[in-house]
Amino acid sequence: KQEVTQIPAALSVPEGENLVLNCSFTDSAIYNLQWFRQDPGKGLTSLLLIQSSQREQTSGRLNASLDKSSGRSTLYIAASQPGDSATYLCAVTDVSAAGNKLTFGGGTRVLVKP
Amino acid sequence: DTAVSQTPKYLVTQMGNDKSIKCEQNLGHDTMYWYKQDSKKFLKIMFSYNNKELIINETVPNRFSPKSPDKAHLNLHINSLELGDSAVYFCASSKKDRGLTNEKLFFGSGTQLSVL
């Protein structure tokens, strides 16, 4: 059974510092991995999707890497801003899954201090 | 225009009651989902429907019954509510779900259910 872990559970950094968020998964037979952002009282917004054949994806200040063999993904956010404060979740789709069933990690709550 | 909208945003009710949460998407997607986020913030899938057909049904009590009148709507009806049902319920949609895809999911803003 796939398990997704995100450490740390919470992170606080001063504005301008780079953010590094970690995600690990127990079963490397994944189809893809997604990173989401969740703001309080709001739904999830998909940030990046990395297919199993890819090593990384980039969007603006965001870069996500994937190492399937070691069961890890890292989300980098460059030059953090107070607006980046949110909870970040990673989720994987297993190859064995029926359809787009995502298994989520518990999230990392990020606070960027001005 | 909200892409995935669900109502109500907040739902407070007594144990034993029956309640429904509605979800609609205007993205033209074929597949819709219900996810549950518990007090520890873990999100778990409950159901998915593709063009009104049930695709995923996790081990959810049969007090929970999804209903999809058309591919743009997926409502969640809950009978005999229990304290443990208190959570945030999220609706989501994606372009297609026949087999594995690399389609992103689009989420609604959630319904916070509190059972007293």
Question: Chain A residue closest to B99 (CA)?
Answer: A99
What pLDDT is recorded for position B57?
81
Query: CA-CA distance, B26 to B17, in Å (whole number)?
Result: 30
> What percentage of chain B exceeds 70 in pLDDT?
95
CB contact under 8 A, B110 and A43: yes
| Shortest distance, CA A62 to any CA of chain B (angstroms) | 17
- The residue type found at B65 is S
Q: In this model, does residue B108 exceed pLDDT 80? A: yes
For the CA atoms of A62, A67, A70, A76, the dihedral, rounded to the nearest 10 degrees, stands at -10
Buried residues in A14-38 as b, exposed as e (16+ CB within 10 A) = eeeeebebebbbeebebbbbbbbbb
Beta bridge partners of A5: A24
Instruction: Sort out which chain B residues have CB atoms less than 8 A from A36's CB and list them.
Output: 107
What pLDDT is recorded for position B41?
79
Q: 């509510």: which residue's tokens?
A: B81
> What percentage of chain A exceeds 90 in pLDDT?
83
Q: How many CB pairs under 8 A join A and B?
A: 68
Question: Using alpha carbons only, how large is chain B's radius of gyration in Å?
Answer: 13
Q: 């069961």: which residue's tokens?
A: A71
Whether the CB of A78 is below 8 Å from some CB of chain B: the reply is no
Q: In this model, does residue A17 exceed pLDDT 80? A: yes
Q: Which of A63-67, A98-102, B97-101, B108-112 has the lowest mean pLDDT?
A: B97-101
